Structure 1
Amino acid sequence: MSETVVVLGASPKVDRYSHKAIKMLGEYGHKVVPVNPYHAQIDGIDCVKDVDEITVPADTVTVYMRESHLLPLIGHLVKLAPRRVIFNPGAEAPAAYPALEEAGIDIEEACTLVLLRTDQF
């Protein structure tokens, strides 16, 4: 099933896992919404500068940013109301979990790339 997936911390640098996730999500047929305030596009996919610019319903948000950068965005994520938020290795943000859980958003600490490759996404 195809989902709309928001990639927080999207990077145009090909060695970054967020970049690999953007590519792999597209290869698996998902609509990708990269969030990056400094780039208009990543691999030909239009970026949004911040979460508030997202105009389509998001099924999943996958996080590739440190907790200190994510915490100011939690209210915006709650408003976006995805079904789940995936915290990739190194991007875990325990301080954010209570607000997301209270909003009924599922939390998953996992690697998006592994979830895709093992058909668990």
Structure 2
Amino acid sequence: MTDDDIRRILGAVRTIAVVGWSPKPDRPSHGVAAFLKRKGFRVIPVNPGQAGQEALGEVVRASLAEIGGGVDMVDIFRRSEEAGAVVDEALAVLPGLKAVWMQLGVEDAAAAARARAAGVEVVMNRCPAIEMPRLGM
């Protein structure tokens, strides 16, 4: 994944579902979601334990299936062994999905291959809140 790839992906998305979002301000998923919102993205938090609450100007969803579409990128804050199920759900229920982003420490090569085979771009083991400032975005 080159810097140009990352710029292109982040430049092409407007709506991001953050899977594993936490309401706790000290959690990385909370901070990254807030960062993305400040950068002008529509951020939809996904956390079954917080479903129905409001965060970032959106209703927290229990699953990607509850969103039903209009998502350009899924940002995954789950353990690597859980990432595959998130990718599979995203591919099944989010028509028009452009990218899957697996956060720092999250990697699943098989899930990445399935996403790429479906025409979805994949970033693994990186953080948009680090990459965007690094790339001057």
TM over 0.5: yes
Counterpart of 2:3 in structure 1 is none
Provide TM-score, normalisation by structure 2: 0.77
Q: How many Å apart are 1:120 and its aligned residue? A: 6.5
Identity of aligned residues (%): 26
For the residues of structure 1 that align with 2:64 and 2:76, how far apart are their CA atoms? 12
Letter in 2 for 1:31: R
Counterpart of 2:59 in structure 1 is 46
CA RMSD of aligned residues (A): 2.0
Provide TM-score, normalisation by structure 1: 0.87
Larger deviation, residues 24-33 vs 49-58: 49-58
1:96 to 92, 111, 132: 111
Q: How many Å apart are 1:15 and its aligned residue? A: 1.2
Trace 1:25-104 onto structure 2 (pairs within 5 A): 25-39=36-50, 40-42=53-55, 45-79=58-92, 80=94, 81-104=96-119
Q: Retained in 1: the 8 A contact 2:44–2:60?
A: yes
Counterpart of 1:7 in structure 2 is 18
User: How many residues are paired up?
Assistant: 121
Q: Retained in 1: the 8 A contact 2:88–2:111?
A: no
Query: Runs of 4+ in structure 1 displaced over 6 angstroms?
Result: none
Counterpart of 1:112 in structure 2 is 128
2:34 to 17, 23, 34: 23
Letter in 1 for 2:17: V
